[in-house]
Amino acid sequence: MIDDSLTVETIAPWDGRRVPVTLIGGYLGAGKTTAINEFLRRTDRPVAVLVNDVGDINIDSALIKRRHGDIIELTDGCVCCSLAEGLANAFDSLRARTVPPDHVVLELSGVADPARVAPWADSDGFRLDGIIVLIDTEQFLDRLDDERTASFVSAQLGAADVFVLTKTDIADPAQVAAVESRLALMEPEVPIRRTRTAHDAGALLDVGTRRPGGVADTPPAQLFDPHTVETHTLPQPLSEEELHALLDKLPLDTVRAKGIAVAPDGTRLLVQQVGRRRRVSALPQAEDQEATDLVVIRL
C-alpha cells in the first residue's frame, strides 16, 4: 500500500515541465526486461529506468543495459506494497537533477498491481504516459485460471492501457487466438498488440498509450500474495551441466527462476525459466561478479 506520508511536497521542478512515465507490467516471465532493453537500444534520448524486482538480488537491473540514462534499483519486494519509500526516494532523486530525463520507464515486478503505482507517475514533475501490460501468451491462460495467481493477473489487466502479447512464436496459433478472445472478453476497451518475442515488444514502449477511463477509474485490488521468493548465492563456479542439474531439482511449484551463474572459465550464464521452460545463454564477463546469484519464485 502506498503511504501518503511519503509523497513529496508540491514543487514545480524543471520550470513546470512534466516528464512522461511509462509503467511496464505483466506477470512473472512475460518479458518485461527484454522489452525494455530493446527499447533502450532503439532510442537515442536520455531515459531513466526504475527497476523493481522481488528478492534481495536485483537480477533484472543487472540485465538492463545502461544507455542514455540511469538505472535506479528497487529491491526486495513489490513497489505497490513494501517499497513505497524506495519509490518515493527514486522519484525524489530524479526531481533533484538539474536536467530532467526525457522519459521515465518503470519496470514493475511480476506481482505488482499497476493501479497502486500509477499515482507516483502522476506526481509533481511527472505525468503518467501509459501502462503497458505484457502478456506471456504461452502461460497466460494457466495463470488466469489458477486461483492462486488469477487475482494478480486480473489486477494487471484491469489497469492496462494496452496489452502486448509476447512469445507468440512459441505458442500454438489456437492458443494465441484463445488468449486474444479472453482478453477481449475481460477488457474490451483495451487494444491488443501481438508480437513474436519480447524483443519485438520493445518497439512498442515508446508510445503514449494513456486511454480515457483507464487506471484512474480502477480501484486498486487488495491482494493476498501466495508467492514465495527464495534467493540463492553460490560462491563456487558452476559448469552449464551442473547448472542444469541444479535447476532440474527445483520444486514443481516454481513459476519463475532467473539468475546469473559464473562458470569455471569466468563465463557468465544467464538463467531464464518460466514454469518448466528454461533458457541458459552466455553473457559478457564482468569483473565484479564471482558468485552465482539465483532468484526462485514459487507458489
pLDDT at 4: 38
Residue 298's DSSP bridge partners are 228, 254
Task: Using alpha carbons, select from 142, 128, 134 the residue that is nearest to residue 109.
Answer: 134
CATH no. of 228-298: 3.30.1220.10
For 165-198, how does the pLDDT look when each residue is reduced to its tens digit (9 = 90+)?
A: 998 888 899 999 999 999 999 999 999 998 766 5
Most confident of 20-24, 255-259, 287-291: 20-24
CA distances from 224 to 113, 150, 190, 252, 287 (A): 12, 11, 26, 21, 40
199 vs 160: which has the higher pLDDT? 160
For 36-88, how does the pLDDT look when each residue is reduced to its tens digit (9 = 90+)?
A: 888 877 777 788 888 776 555 555 556 555 555 566 555 554 444 445 567 77
CA dihedral 81, 61, 149, 205 (to 10 degrees): 100
For 81-134, how does the pLDDT look when each residue is reduced to its tens digit (9 = 90+)?
A: 445 567 778 888 888 878 788 888 888 888 888 988 888 888 888 999 999 999
Element (H, E) at 104: strand 103-107
Beta carbons within 10 angstroms of residue 104's beta carbon: 25
Q: Please, what is the Cα angle at 23 between 156 and 297, to 5 degrees?
A: 55
Q: What is the mean pLDDT of the chain?
A: 77
Cell of 271: 538463467
Give the whole-angstrom CA distance, residue 292 versus residue 163.
Answer: 34
- Helix 84-95 vs helix 114-121: angle between axes, to the nearest 10 degrees? 30
Sketch the domain layout of the chain as residue ranges.
4-217, 228-298
Give the whole-angstrom CA distance, residue 170 versus residue 231.
Answer: 29
Most confident of 138-152, 202-216, 285-299: 138-152
Strand 228-234: give its sheet, edge to edge: 228-234, 292-298, 254-262, 268-274, 277-283
CATH no. of 4-217: 3.40.50.300
